[in-house]
Amino acid sequence: MKTLTNLTAVAAILTAVPAYAEFKLDSRFADADGDLIADIPTDASQLIDPSTLIFAYTPVEDPAVYAEVWQGFLDHMVEVTGKEVQFFPVQSNAAQIEAMRAGRLHVAGFNTGSNPLAVACAGFRPFTMMAAEDGSFGYEMEIITYPDSGIEKVEDIAGNKMAFTSETSNSGFKAPSAILSAEFGMEAGENFEPVFSGAHDSSILGVANKDYPAAAIANSVKGRMFERDVVTEDQLVTIYTSQTFPTTGYGTAHNLTPELQEKIQEAFFSFDWKGSALLEEFSKSGEAKFIPITFQEDWAVIRTIDEANGVAYECN
């Protein structure tokens, strides 16, 4: 049950800094056209054309479930690109970024908050996200608790533990941190004890099982878990809902050949969702097709939240 919807904090954040927060790519990458993503190398010796494409979806508690969900789509990518395609189960956002940075990952879906770091440090070139049939897209960050937890409003989190997913997650850390500070004057480590679960489904299960008194999560993940009967609606109570944010962005490593990058894009936009495992899973959160996006425009709000949180895109 949603008990509070308030956009004041995010609105304040958005007016506190420029609409396009300062963003710089690692020195390994060039951005001659100013679109904020790494250019495809013009030196042919820097391009790669692997015989097997490695694909990774954003980290989840049970990667095996999503390996099956994505298999039909990956089979389609094989047909379009003429390449073998392998699903790579990643355990963390950091591991996923490092895999692309090291050249071990070619196609990926990075979660909302990890996208800027993947773009800046790993040369990730996002071009699509999932959307509803009408083209609408996105999810909301929710702060959840369980019935009879003693937490009825955000302020009641004070003195308790609150679960986040990881520091690179937008809805799992960045947005709630900014909102808790700007709107409620609450800081992690001062007003409540932060703990990290590693994934949205882990946070949701943790609250449902009463391991965490409260957690910040993406409601799109919660919706899919309801549909799969992993948790039930009566196990959770929503006490805060944010504005809508862009969801997982899909794209390629910057140094794949231009022809291969075009083929990969074709695979996403030509995929027939009807009757697919992808539709069965992601329709649970209202998604039914891939739409084109740009990092410069669609991730402006996320870069602004990063700026408000003092995030620096440091690439080691």
Which domains occur in the chain, in start order? 8-13+137-245 (3.40.190.10), 17-135+247-308 (3.40.190.10)
Q: What is the pLDDT of residue 312?
A: 78
Q: What is the pLDDT of residue 316?
A: 72
Q: Coil, helix or strand for 108?
A: strand
Distance in angstroms (rounded) separating the CA atoms of residues 132 and 109: 17
For the cut 60, the answer to whether the pLDDT of residue 18 exceeds it is no
| Element at 194 (helix H, strand E) | strand 193-196
For the cut 70, the answer to whether the pLDDT of residue 10 exceeds it is no
Q: What is the pLDDT of residue 91?
A: 87
User: For residue 68, how many C-alpha atoms fall within 13 Å in the half-sphere facing its CB?
Assistant: 5
What does the pLDDT look like over 158-194, one tens digit per residue? 999 999 999 988 999 999 999 999 889 999 999 999 9
Per mean pLDDT, which range of 15-24, 27-36, 89-98, 219-228 is the poorest? 15-24
Per mean pLDDT, which range of 4-18, 38-52, 104-118, 155-169 is the poorest? 4-18
Q: What is the pLDDT of residue 295?
A: 96
Distance in angstroms (rounded) separating the CA atoms of residues 8 and 19: 16
DSSP assignment letter at 174: I
In order of 1, 169, 204, 215, 300, the CA distances from 95 in angstroms are 35, 13, 22, 23, 24
- Overall pTM surpassing 0.85 (yes/no): no
- Which of 143-147, 176-180, 197-201 is modeled with the greatest confidence? 143-147
What does the pLDDT look like over 207-263, one tens digit per residue? 999 999 999 999 999 999 999 999 999 999 999 999 889 999 999 999 999 999 999
Q: What is the DSSP string of 119-173?
A: HHHH-EEEEEEEE-TTS---EEEEEEE-TTSS--SGGGGTTSEEEE--TT-IIII
Q: Coil, helix or strand for 182?
A: helix
Per mean pLDDT, which range of 64-68, 78-82, 265-269 is the poorest? 64-68
Q: What is the pLDDT of residue 129?
A: 97
Q: What is the pLDDT of residue 64?
A: 82
Q: What is the pLDDT of residue 15?
A: 38
For the cut 80, the answer to whether the pLDDT of residue 61 exceeds it is no
Mean pLDDT calculated for residue range 17-33 = 77
Q: What is the pLDDT of residue 4?
A: 34
Q: Where does the pLDDT of residue 7 fall: very low under 50, low under 70, confident under 90, or very high at 90 and above? A: very low
Q: Where does the pLDDT of residue 21 fall: very low under 50, low under 70, confident under 90, or very high at 90 and above? A: very low
